[in-house]
Structure 1
Amino acid sequence: MRPRASARNLAQAYTLGGRLAQLREEAGLTQSEIAARMHISQPRVSKLEQGDLAQAEVGTIQRYVAALGGRLKLVADFDDHDVTVSTSQVDRTEACF
């Protein structure tokens, strides 16, 4: 990966992690409560919120959002249009292969 792309990816991960923490706090939940709902450790939740998303899969983010009571959607951004899919649509597509 090129240095500029790597720096951009790190910045995006840090921003996403911070946003997850903000959503959790707005929901009045602790990291321990999210961890219990996701069946992972509290330190892992902390790492996700700090932007340590290198090993995180879409399913991990989906479970975090679900623990907050939400549903994850993915947006593919093309020059002339966007395509939004829910992760449940992605799961169904992957199951077909």
Structure 2
Amino acid sequence: MTSDELLSITEVPKSVAIIGGGAIGAEFASTLNDFGADVTLIEALPQILATCDKDLSKTVARSFKKRGINVLAGTKVLGHSKSGEGIEIKIDSGSLLSKRW
């Protein structure tokens, strides 16, 4: 689902993985968390908001952690597949993340 498609959803997912920890990904992670979704934010670069000031990036990452948003910086997505009522995402550590709608 793209960020444009996400704007038209009518119910909040139970859990969601957002791929990309830039400004848009971070904003959606925060908003969906506020609405009660279990959020994982995946960023391939070593930090979220990589184009922003490092102190700002660290502050937001700490805030996300306190709010229960799982931030996986320095993590690459290797693939995904549909699984039951959700999706499984394979990351470069070899782990599978399961997210249900």
TM-score, normalising length: structure 2: 0.26
Q: Return the structure number with greater relative CO, CA threshold 8 A, min gap 6.
A: 2
Give 1 or 2: higher helix fraction: 1
Q: Could you tell me the TM-score, scaled by structure 1's length?
A: 0.26
Larger of the two Rg values belongs to structure: 1
